[in-house]
């Protein structure tokens, strides 16, 4: 066990960690802050501050699908840094490989799985051609934010301006 001396007190790291884990576990299970505070004999405002310290993002769950992107790694890094929950980005070659390396049945099943996965998110950022964006908007129940990178059919990778992506992410945050 790790102990820390603070003036005349001895503090147990283990006890602090165990309590924090209990607090967050109970909150994740749906207990209110007050219920957790009462059960663990701690102050409710401590729980609120604890959640504030650890909060990465408040509000809507976000997914992003985009292809074909020449700056896929840069876009992915921005989305990860901003806490986007689900990211599926491809270059044109990756998109072609995705389609060509599967049988029709496998492709259909995988696409259905991906659609089901993405429909779980409240906001979906779709990056692609005009026609693909219309198709994705029709398939998804979520709020779809479309970023058009060209007219169909797109046969080569397109560069997405990171400023456009930052603007979209700011608009999502301000809408909460």
Per-residue pLDDT tens for 34-68? 999 999 999 999 998 888 887 655 567 899 999 99
Residue 30: pLDDT over 80: yes
The total of other beta-carbon atoms located within 10 Å of residue 150's CB is: 14
Torsion angle, alpha carbons of 108, 114, 117, 121, to 10: -130
Question: Which H or E run contains 24?
Answer: helix 13-28
**Which residues partner with 148 through β-bridges?**
128
Do 63 and 123 touch, CB atoms closer than 8 A? yes
CA dist., res. 25 & res. 55, Å (int): 15
Q: Cis (ω within 30 of 0) for the bond into 159? A: no
Give the residue extent of every domain in the chain. Answer: 10-54, 62-174
Query: Using a CB cutoff of 8 Å and minimum separation of 24, what contacts does 17-24 make?
Result: 20/50, 23/47, 23/50, 24/50, 24/54
CA dist., res. 48 & res. 58, Å (int): 13
Residue 95: pLDDT over 70: yes
CA dist., res. 35 & res. 86, Å (int): 32
Tell me the whole-structure pTM to 2 decimals. Answer: 0.67
- Phi and psi at 3, nearest 5°, equal -120, 150
Residue 136: pLDDT over 80: yes
Token digits of residue 165: 């992506």
Residue 17: pLDDT over 60: yes
């Amino acid at each position: 066990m790790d102990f820390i001396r603070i003036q005349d007190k001895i503090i147990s790291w283990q006890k602090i960690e165990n309590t924090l884990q209990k607090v967050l576990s109970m909150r994740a299970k749906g207990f209110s802050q007050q219920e957790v505070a009462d059960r663990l004999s701690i102050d409710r405002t401590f729980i609120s501050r604890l959640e504030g310290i650890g909060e990465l993002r408040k509000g809507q769950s976000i997914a992003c699908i985009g292809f074909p992107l020449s700056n896929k790694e840069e876009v992915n890094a921005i989305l990860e840094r901003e806490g986007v929950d689900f990211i599926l980005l491809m270059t044109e070659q990756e998109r072609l490989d995705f389609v060509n390396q599967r049988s029709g049945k496998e492709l259909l099943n995988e696409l259905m799985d991906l659609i089901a996965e993405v429909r779980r998110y409240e906001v979906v950022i779709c990056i692609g051609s005009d026609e693909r964006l219309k198709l994705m908007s029709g398939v998804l129940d979520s709020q779809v934010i479309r970023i058009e990178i060209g007219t169909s059919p797109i046969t080569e990778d397109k560069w997405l301006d990171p400023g456009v992506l930052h603007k979209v992410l700011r608009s999502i945050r301000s809408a909460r």
